[in-house]
Structures are given as structure tokens and as C-alpha cells.
Structure 1
Amino acid sequence: MNIEERLSLMKEKIKEISESYTEESIGGWITGNGPVPCKILFIGEAPGKTEVESGEPFVGMAGKNFEHYLNLVGLNRDNIRITNACYFRPIKIKESVSGKPSISNRSPKSSEIKLFTDILNEEINLVDPKLIITLGNTPLKTITDFNSIGECHGNLILSTKINRNVFPMYHPSSLIYNRSNEFKDMYLQDWHKLKEVLKNLI
């Protein structure tokens, strides 16, 4: 099978898993986006509402932050691949005061991430990146032995799980929730460190 056929088969698998999943509420699914093969692969947590509607990862508020920093280090969406550890959108549904259902994102459960482990590994092998950048705790825990982004962000590590170079970073949505100058400075420093790593690796 060529790359296009393998990507098409992956999409079918994602669709099948997502559409037959009944344990929790979910709100649609997406696939990875960007060239294959590709030297740089970013892995996020799971898609949100905007991502599912557009069919692309990182296009909401966090996506705007993401693109700003990408451009800052000389990258753009044309020369990177972006995917997620969980390919469907995990949601929680609550009834509001007016009686209408209120839908919001939730973090994927470890059992939900496990549904896609083989597919994510297959995507990594297809993309064959020189560097994987994990965004947040979920992808970090999925492809490395680290449990917390605080332990290793901004450092190049070799993942023994997948035998590839990994650069862990905070998720771009963390800038929405943590507005302290100290955090912003640290986040910016991590992108500058990434720029140096890319110079040496790629």
C-alpha cells in the first residue's frame, strides 16, 4: 500500500472506532493534518468543537496562539504535521438552568486514548518525523514515560517507548487559563529552545 492508501485506511479506522464508541459522550472526530512524510510532528490532546467543525486540529482560540508561536520560530502549517493522542472530541453534557443541554469539552480518559494507540503509532511511523513535539500532559504520557509536563518541558528527550526524539511543551490553551507574566515568559522560552533544537536536528 502507498502512503495515501494507508492514510485512507487510518481514517476509516478512526471513523469506525469513533462512531461505534458508546461508553461516554463524544462530539465528532478528526484525523491528523499536514504533509506525510514530515520532519516535524506536533501531537495535541483531542479535538474541540471548532476542530471537529473544520476537520482540522488547532483552529480555535488555542490554534491562534499556536500559529503565532509557530510563525515566531519560522514554521507554518505547510511544513509541519499536527495530530492528536485522541482523535475524537470527548464531551460532557449538562442541563442548564433553562433546561437546554450544555456541551463542553472534557479531557480524554486513558481508556479512550488506548483506543487509538495503534493508530497514533502508525501515524508516527508514516510521518517518520525527526522531532515530535507533544503539547500538554496527555500526548506526553502517551508516548513517553513522563507523567507531568512540569518535569520535562523545554528539553529534548529520547522516548524509549517509541525510540524517537521528543520535545515536550505546554499546550497552547494553557496561555488562556494561565495569564501570569511568569508563565508567558517560560512558555516563550520553550519556543526559543525549540528553535535551537530544530536548527541542530533538521
Structure 2
Amino acid sequence: MTALYKTDSTKRDRLKEFYYQIKDCRLCELYKTRINFVFGSGNSNAPIVFAGEAPGRNEDLQGKPFVGQAGKLLDELLLFIGFNRNDVFIANVLKCRPPENRDPSTIEINKCKNYLFKQIEIISPMIICTLGRYSTQLILNTSANISKLRGKIFKIGKSIVLPINHPAAALYTPSKLQVLREDFKKIRDIFDNYEHPENVGEITEVYGLERIYKARADSAVAGEAEAGETLV
């Protein structure tokens, strides 16, 4: 699958440089309890970026995203549509595990969010697939519930954004697993119809966010804006 894409070696170098710039982050209190800083992993030239919520116990131990049961399901779903982990990039809104796997706090998200924006800027994917509430609300700059947004197709700049449920929600519920499988089929359809995504479904173009995200990505390194500041 990766042979289909033109390799840009500078992306790998930029991601590696960015990792070393932020791996010792202490912007929030989570650094005190983490075992590993979970930067993200995958193909620096990925056409698809999957954005999750936060590392869990297994991710914290191994330093890689989605390595637990939800990760195994994600791998199965990727294979289901003809991809594997080497074809995509996977990251989370938070890079450190919240204790007891609790939900991310607003403060933690605001401190960490620019890192994800920087990763997306470097990779410049065709598709951003947000997994669950937190990444969906962050990427689309909305407070709307994931149930209202799931499966809808958005466009920000050159990237198509598809919000879907987090794989963890489908682990023990067959009906949710079927919905997730259908959403992954849509990912494949969008990929195959990237030049004409309207062939897959109605597109909602979100104007203005690309400029905001560029500013947030820049501040991830430059420190020009306080975490949580509205950059408009």
C-alpha cells in the first residue's frame, strides 16, 4: 500500500526532530505519573492519520499507541479495508496516560493539543480519522457530541475529516462493531475517491480552521501562545 505514495523523507526527519523536542514535556501534571511519553507511530508519509484520546496502561508501558485490545481491533479493521499500521499514522490527543485511564481533563487537552496539530501539519494526510469524542471535538473545534458527528464527512484545507467511534466502544457490543466496520468501509471509499469525496457522501467544508491549526502547530515548538489560548 505504501508504494502508492510518493515518499518525502523530510517528513520523517521533521517528525523525529519534533519527537526529541517534546519527549520530555512537563506542561501538565501527567509527566509525574507516566512511564512513557507516547508520541505516536506509523508512516510519516501516511495518507491517513488516526487521532485517538489518550494512552492507556499498555500504551504507557510500551510507549506506543493502541497496543491493547482496542489496538488489536484497530489492526483488524485496517486489514479489513486493505491497510496495515505501516500505511497509517496513529497518535492521541494526550501523549501521557491519565491515571486509572480516566478521561482527559480540559487543562490536559489544552496543554497537549498543539502537539497533535503539529504532527498533522508535518504529515499533511489526505484523511484525518478522529476516534471518539475528544479528538473529534478538538479537530472540528466543536462541543457537539460524537453521536451527532459520527460518519459525517468534513473538509479542512486539503484534508478530509471523518469522525467515528473509538474502537474501545465496540469491543463488547456487536452492534457497535458493525457500525465501526461500516465507518471503516467509508474510510476506504474516501481514500479511493479523494479527488471527488462527494461521491461518498455530503461534504461539510469547515472554513477558517486551517489557519488556526497552522498557528497552533507553530506554537507547539515556538511557544508563542499559551496552551488553551484561542488563536483566531
CA displacement 1:40-99 (0-9 Å, x = unmatched): 1111101111112222111101001111111101110011011111111111xxxxxxxx
Letter paired with 2:105: K
Distance 1:21 1:152, change over 3 A: closer
User: How much has 1:201 moved relative to structure 2?
Assistant: 1.3
Aligned alpha-carbon RMSD (Å):
2.2
SS of the residue corresponding to residue 67 of structure 1 reads helix
Counterparts of residues 1-202 of structure 1 (less than 5 Å): 2-18=10-26, 21-22=28-29, 26-28=33-35, 29-91=37-99, 104-146=100-142, 147-159=144-156, 164-176=159-171, 179=173, 181-201=174-194
Query: Which consecutive residues of structure 1, in runs of 5 or more, have no partner in the other structure?
Result: 92-103
In structure 2, runs of 5+ residues without a counterpart are 1-9, 196-232
- Aligned pair count reads 184
Q: Which moved more, 1:110-119 or 1:123-132?
A: 110-119
Do 2:43 and 2:89's aligned partners in 1 also have CA atoms closer than 8 Å? Answer: yes
- Note the C-alpha offset of 1:158: 1.7
TM-score after normalising by structure 2: 0.72
Aligned partners of 2:131 and 2:79: how far apart in 1? 17
Give the conservation status (yes or no) of the 8 Å contact 1:73–1:191.
yes
Contact 1:27 1:49 in 2 (8 A): no
TM-score (norm 1): 0.81
Q: Summarize deviations over 1:135-156 as a string: whole Å, max 9, x none.
A: 0011001110342211121221
Distance 2:135 2:29 in 1: 23
Per-residue Cα deviation, 1:108-127 (whole angstroms, up to 9, x for no partner): 11211111222211111111
Higher strand proportion, which one? Answer: 1
Amino acid at match of 2:29: T
